[in-house]
């Protein structure tokens, strides 16, 4: 009678024992700091003033959204960068995945080579491109001058529009390979019989792309876009190295503005509030995306 009970208890105990180290670490290093930061966001803790802090309610939050032009501007900047970057990464990634799926020989090696930009750190990608864009010694200006395409040493970060375009270009270079890998996996999971049947019925490759590949790839594309969208809201290292938010504050992203508030102005409480606004925004975006997905599925059904 006692033996099975002991065995049961032991079996309930074991999973906890196995899982506890990481759960304890997550609680200590992620959950507790997050809770502490939430508490902090209702104070006026400012390291440049001193260790004393008072409870000021939701004033940090109202300031961030209603009165802080820089932060609101950074939301706009982030959106301006995200839109074209997502579109370009999807189209280019799809194109490359289609090309790769038609290659019979050397596909693994070409895929691995094309995937490399996605493996390097945003900081390194940005540094490489900052040098490429360099006014006097950069590869782009020198190549352009040598080929006679441009006739002056051009400043690729001279205006806010140019700087934003440069940021988008670098992000596209950095992350299109990821989109390509995801979509290639999606394309390869489409049964080839479908294409054989379509060809037997006299469909052109163009037609089978529109009525087989694209519809069956929708879900994969949605997942890829979702992941990229969430990652783009975190855009920081790339900005830090490529433009440091400039010119002016035209390429400051939400993460970058929050970093400045915390580690340049030392307004810890305010930065904590900003980070919670970002978390809320990302959560909202995710829910919106899921809702649209479900709506479209419901309409399709």
Partner 1 sequence: MAIALERPRVAARRARRYRLRRGLGHVLTYLGLLAALVFFLGPFFWILTTSLKGNEDFFTFPPVWIPADPSLSHYLALFTRSSGARYFTNSLVISSLSMFAALAVSLPTAYAIARWRFGGGLLSTFLLVLRMLPAIALIIPIYIMYKMLGMTNSYLGLVVVYTVLYIPFAVWLLVGFLRDFPVEIEEAAMIDGCSRVRALVQVVIPIIAPGLAVVALFAFIATWNEFLFAVVLTGIETKTMMVLVTSFTSGGTDMFYGEASASVVLGVLPAFAVAFMLQRYLVKGLALGGTKG
**Binders of partner 1 in range 86-145 (CB under 8 A):** 95-96, 99-100, 102-103, 108, 110-124, 127-139, 142-143, 145
Name which of 194 and 279 has its Cβ closer to partner 1: 279
| Contact region with partner 1 (CB under 8 A), list: 17-25, 61-69, 70-78, 79-87 | 17-25
Residue 155 sits in the site that holds partner 1 (CB under 8 A): yes
Residue 53 sits in the site that holds partner 1 (CB under 8 A): no
Residue 216 sits in the site that holds partner 1 (CB under 8 A): no
Closest CA to 278 of 228, 233, 231: 233
Residue 49 sits in the site that holds partner 1 (CB under 8 A): no
Closest CA to 174 of 222, 130, 108, 109: 130
Distance from C-alpha of 133 to C-alpha of 138, rounded to nearest angstrom: 5
Neighbouring C-alpha atoms within 13 Å toward the C-beta of 269: 24
Residue 44 sits in the site that holds partner 1 (CB under 8 A): no
- Token match 């993460």: residue? 255
Distance from C-alpha of 241 to C-alpha of 275, rounded to nearest angstrom: 21
Closest CA to 262 of 276, 254, 272: 272
Least distance from partner 1 to the Cβ atom of residue 18, Å: 4
Residue 227 sits in the site that holds partner 1 (CB under 8 A): yes
Least distance from partner 1 to the Cβ atom of residue 299, Å: 27
Least distance from partner 1 to the Cβ atom of residue 213, Å: 15
Least distance from partner 1 to the Cβ atom of residue 234, Å: 5
Distance from C-alpha of 209 to C-alpha of 102, rounded to nearest angstrom: 13
Alpha-carbon torsion (237, 238, 241, 243), positive or negative = negative
Q: Out of 74, 78, 213, 275, which residue is the one contacting partner 1 (CB under 8 A)? A: 275
Q: Out of 222, 240, 249, 293, which residue is the one contacting partner 1 (CB under 8 A)? A: 240
Name which of 80 and 278 has its Cβ closer to partner 1: 278
For residue 90, give every residue at least 6 positions away whose Cβ sits within 8 Å of its Cβ, in sequence order, or none: 179, 221, 224, 225
Name which of 30 and 295 has its Cβ closer to partner 1: 30
């Amino acid at each position: 009678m006692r033996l099975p009970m002991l065995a049961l208890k032991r079996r309930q105990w074991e999973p906890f024992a196995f899982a506890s180290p990481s759960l304890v670490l997550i609680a200590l290093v992620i959950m507790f700091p997050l809770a502490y930061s939430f508490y902090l966001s209702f104070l006026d803790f400012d390291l440049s003033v001193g260790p004393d802090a008072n409870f000021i309610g939701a004033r940090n939050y109202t300031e961030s959204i209603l009165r802080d032009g820089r932060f609101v501007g950074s939301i706009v900047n982030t959106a301006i960068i995200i839109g074209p970057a997502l579109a370009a990464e999807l189209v280019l990634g799809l194109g490359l995945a289609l090309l790769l799926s038609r290659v019979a020989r050397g596909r693994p090696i070409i895929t691995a080579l094309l995937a490399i930009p996605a493996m390097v750190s945003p900081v390194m990608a940005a540094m490489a491109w900052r040098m490429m864009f360099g006014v006097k010694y950069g590869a782009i200006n020198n190549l352009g001058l040598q080929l006679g395409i441009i006739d002056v040493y051009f400043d690729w970060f001279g205006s806010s529009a140019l700087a934003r375009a440069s940021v988008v270009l670098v992000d596209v270079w950095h992350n299109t390979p990821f989109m390509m890998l995801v979509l290639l996996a999606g394309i390869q999971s489409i049964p080839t019989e479908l294409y054989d049947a379509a060809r037997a019925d006299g469909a052109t490759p163009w037609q089978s792309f529109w009525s087989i590949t694209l519809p069956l790839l929708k879900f994969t594309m949605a997942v890829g876009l979702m992941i990229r969208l969430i990652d783009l809201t975190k855009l920081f290292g790339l900005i830090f190295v490529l433009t440091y938010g400039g010119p002016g504050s035209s390429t400051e992203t939400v993460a970058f503005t929050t970093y400045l508030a915390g580690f340049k102005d030392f307004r810890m409480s305010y930065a904590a509030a900003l980070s919670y606004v970002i978390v809320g925004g990302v959560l909202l975006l995710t829910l919106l995306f899921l809702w649209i997905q479900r709506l479209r599925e419901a309409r399709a059904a």
